[in-house]
Amino acid sequence: MSQPAQPPAGTYHSSAEILAHPRFAAARTAYVEAILDLYEGDAFLNRLLVEASRLVTFNTIVSLACAHDAADRATWPTMRRLKQELRKFGLSSERRIEDLVAGFVHFELLELRPSERDGRVRLLTPTARMLALDRDWLAANYVPLHAMFPHPGYAQPVERDPAFQRAQRAVTLGFSARGAEVMARNPAMMRYMSRDAGSVILIKLIHLTAAGGAIEELSYTELGARFGVSRTHVRMVLEEAERHGDLVLSGRGGHRVELKPSILRAFDGFLADAMSGHDLIYRLTLERMAGA
């Protein structure tokens, strides 16, 4: 599939513009709270999605399904097409992709249905539950844009409009390479996203230090319980972060946590990149819906 035409510069908000905006801090807070509202306390959802390869696979399946035209065999959401798309993100292990798909099927998020045009072909078909989870994810990722630019705002994704979801996901499919570039451009964040619950652990730490200063007594056990991982896993994530200079662990047992400015800047840069990409796709989606 060819990449859709990109709107001229200035018709969507760039990463630099977003970072420099006076409401960026409010947008960051809105994003942090939206992600925690979505994932915190839901061990099932964390085990299922909060790791880069699982989330990318989930999103790509929904995009393939939303772009599906039964009359055009090239658009059929097959396992082969999924593997082709995921190579853009560096996910080239066919066994890994098949295991992820099997997991989604097991948890009744995905069905493998025979094509009405060719019964020999099985199509990846999201269930209503999978589509609802995807709308929740889209809402959380458009909330910071809605907070920064409330007029006219981003009501369709924030209010979980299914028509917007279908159009947005079909547009997103043409920007897989751009999404992979954003991930590659933010290696510090990818260290967390590649670990189970790594990104939400970092987001929770940012939330806890929002007023400034360090976290004086972090409970690894409580933090792990919030995101469906063990206290040992939390400790490993934090100790790895310390080795990379993202934070300092001190106090008895390393339960005092101080985030370094470098990881906060990396988080802000990643968020600005993501917001800019979502804004671009939002505008293309509105054009697609108007044309339809």
Whether the link from the prior residue into 152 is cis, omega within 30° of 0, is yes
Using DSSP's 3-state secondary structure scheme, residue 6 falls into: coil
What tokens appear for 208 in the block? Answer: 């806890």
Q: For position 47, what pLDDT does the model report?
A: 77
- Interval 61-85: pLDDT, tens: 999 999 999 999 999 999 999 999 9
Q: Could you tell me which residue, 243 or 52, shows the higher pLDDT?
A: 243
pLDDT at 187: 94
What is the band of 58 on the pLDDT scale with cuts at 50, 70, 90? very high
**pLDDT at residue 24 in the model:** 98
- Rounded to an integer, what is the distance from CA 7 to the centroid of its chain? 23
Q: Determine the longest span between alpha carbons in the chain, in angstroms.
A: 65
pLDDT value for 260: 96
Strand pairing category for 247-250 and 122-126: unpaired
Mean pLDDT of 188-200: 93
User: Has residue 92 got a pLDDT over 80?
Assistant: no
| Mean predicted lDDT score pLDDT of the chain | 92
- Asked if 226 and 40 count as a contact pair (C-beta separation under 8 A), the reply is yes
For position 10, what pLDDT does the model report?
60
pLDDT at 119: 85
The DSSP call for residue 174 is G
Percentage of the chain with pLDDT > 70?
97
pLDDT, residue 159, reads 97
93 pLDDT above the threshold of 50: yes
- C-alpha 21/C-alpha 27 separation (Å) is 10
Q: Which of 19, 46, 26 is nearest to 133 (CA)?
A: 46
Single-letter code of the amino acid located at 272: A
DSSP 86-137: HGGGT---HHHHHHHHHHHHHTTSEEEEE-SS-TTSEEEEE-HHHHHHHHHH
Tell me the pLDDT tens digit for each residue of 165-188.
Answer: 999 999 999 888 888 888 889 999
pLDDT at 290: 92
Assign 1 a pLDDT band (cuts: 50, 70, 90).
very low
Task: Please check whether residue 177 is in contact with residue 1, taking contact to mean a CB–CB distance below 8 angstroms.
Answer: no
Domain boundaries, the chain: 22-188+264-291, 189-263
Give the pLDDT mean for 86-95: 88
The count of residues in the chain is: 292
Question: What confidence category does residue 2 fall into, taking pLDDT thresholds of 50, 70 and 90?
Answer: very low
- Whose CA is closest to 48, among 137, 163, 165, 181? 137
Topology of the domain covering 189-263: Arc Repressor Mutant, subunit A (1.10.10)
Q: Which two tokens stand for residue 275?
A: 């917001």
Mean pLDDT within 248-265: 94
**pLDDT over 50 at 253, yes or no:** yes
Q: How many CB atoms lie within 10 A of CB 258?
A: 15
pLDDT surpasses 90 at 13: yes
Q: For the chain, what percent of residues have pLDDT higher than 90? A: 79
Is residue 232's pLDDT more than 90? Answer: yes
